[in-house]
Amino acid sequence: MMITINWNEIWRETEEAKMHSNNLEFWNSFAPRFRKKVGEPDPYIEQFYKYMEAKPEDTFFDMGCGSGTLAIPFAQKGHEVFAADFSPEMLKYLKQGAEEAGVADRIHTIELNWNEDWSERDLPKCDIAFSSRSFITRDLTSSLEKLESVAKRKVCIGAWDTPVSGYERHLAKAIGYERPGIGTHYMIMGELMDRDVFPEMKYIYTPFRLTKYTSREAAEEQLRSAFSHMTAEQEEKFCQYLEEHLIYHPEAGEYHGKEMNGFWQFDHNDNSSIAFISWDVKSVYE
C-alpha cells in the first residue's frame, strides 16, 4: 500500500497556529530578554558543536541566529560565522555581544527572512549551514532548500520535538493527555526522507529552564493553549495539578532577561530534548 503524506501542508497548518512564529514586532521586543551572557556555559551549545563534526577551518551560516546564542561561542572557537536573522534588534544585540567577546571580526550579520526569495540576495556559501531552534518558517520544503543553497558540505537543524509551544511533559503525563500532533523534527525528517536525502538524527538532552510565570492566571492561560482538547476528567486533573505543583515564589527573579518581583513556577525539574538533524548536501545533488 502506497501512503503519501504532504509534509509541507501539515507544516503550514502547524505554523499558522503558532502565535509569534513570524511576528517581527514580537521578536524585536523580545531581543533584550533573549540575549545570553557572554561566556555563560550551555551544554546544548557544546553538544550541537560536537554533533556538527566541524573542521577547524569551516565557515558557518547561522540562520535564525537571534542574539548570537551559537554564533558567538562558535566564533570564539575560531570559526567565521555569517549570522542571519530577520530581526534587526536581535542582530543589534548580537553585535554588542560579539564586541564584548572580542570576536566581532569573525561574525558577519545579515538581515534575512526565511520567507523571502534568497536567490535574489548575494548570500555567502559556507561549509556548514545550520538553524538552531529557529526553523520558524511558513514553507518547509523551500526553507530546507534555502539552507542547502548556502551550504557547501552539510546542513544541520536543531528542532524541538514537542508538538506545540507550552506543552509540559509532567503535566501531560499526570492528566493522561495524549501528545497532540507531531513535533517539528518529525515533519523535517519526513520531508527529507521523501526526497531521498538520508538525514541522520540524534538527540540533545539538557536541563530545561522551567518557565517563570508572572501570575497563576498567566500560567493557566499559557498552559491551556497547549492542552486545548481535554476531557472533563483531564480538566479536573489539570486544575488539581496546578493547585498542587504550581508554586509561588515571593522573591525577585529573572526570566529571559526580564526582572520579576515574585513569580509562579512548577516544583519539578525537567529536561529538554532537541532533535539534531543533519545531512550531507552531496546526497541532494549527486
- For residues 44 and 154, state if they share a domain: yes
Give the residue numbers spanning the domain of 160.
7-208+270-285
Instruction: Identify the pLDDT of residue 29.
Output: 64
- For residues 146 and 217, state if they share a domain: no
Q: Residue 219 falls within a domain, yes or no?
A: yes
pLDDT in tens, 11-21: 888 776 554 55
179's grid cell: 501528545
- For residues 222 and 200, state if they share a domain: no
Q: Residue 148 falls within a domain, yes or no?
A: yes
Q: Which of 6, 116, 112, 3 is nearest to 61 (CA)?
A: 112
* The total number of structural domains that make up the chain: 2
- For residues 204 and 232, state if they share a domain: no
Q: Which of 14, 164, 173, 28 is nearest to 87 (CA)?
A: 28
Q: Residue 1 falls within a domain, yes or no?
A: no
- For residues 63 and 146, state if they share a domain: yes
Q: Which of 142, 155, 134 is nearest to 87 (CA)?
A: 134
Q: Residue 69 falls within a domain, yes or no?
A: yes
The CATH number covering residue 66 comes to 3.40.50.150
- For residues 28 and 78, state if they share a domain: yes
Compute the distance between CA of residue 79 and CA of residue 127 in angstroms, rounded to an integer.
11
- For residues 194 and 235, state if they share a domain: no
Q: Residue 83 falls within a domain, yes or no?
A: yes
Residues of the chain with pLDDT under 70: 1-3, 16-22, 26-40, 163-165, 180-181, 208-209, 254-258, 283-286
Compute the distance between CA of residue 145 and CA of residue 118 in angstroms, rounded to an integer.
10
Contact (CB, 8 A) for 56 and 119: no
Cell 526569495 belongs to 117
Q: Residue 31 falls within a domain, yes or no?
A: yes
- For residues 134 and 27, state if they share a domain: yes
Instruction: Identify the pLDDT of residue 211.
Output: 80
Residue 129: in which H helix or E strand, if any?
A: strand 126-132
- For residues 133 and 253, state if they share a domain: no
- For residues 21 and 44, state if they share a domain: yes
- CA atoms lying within 13 Å on the CB side of residue 100: 16
Burial status of residue 21 (CB atoms within 10 A of its CB: 0-12, 13-18, 19 or more) = middle
Instruction: Identify the pLDDT of residue 285.
Output: 47
Q: Residue 169 falls within a domain, yes or no?
A: yes
Q: Residue 187 falls within a domain, yes or no?
A: yes
pTM for this predicted structure = 0.82
- For residues 137 and 263, state if they share a domain: no
Cα 184 to chain center, whole Å?
10
- For residues 137 and 243, state if they share a domain: no
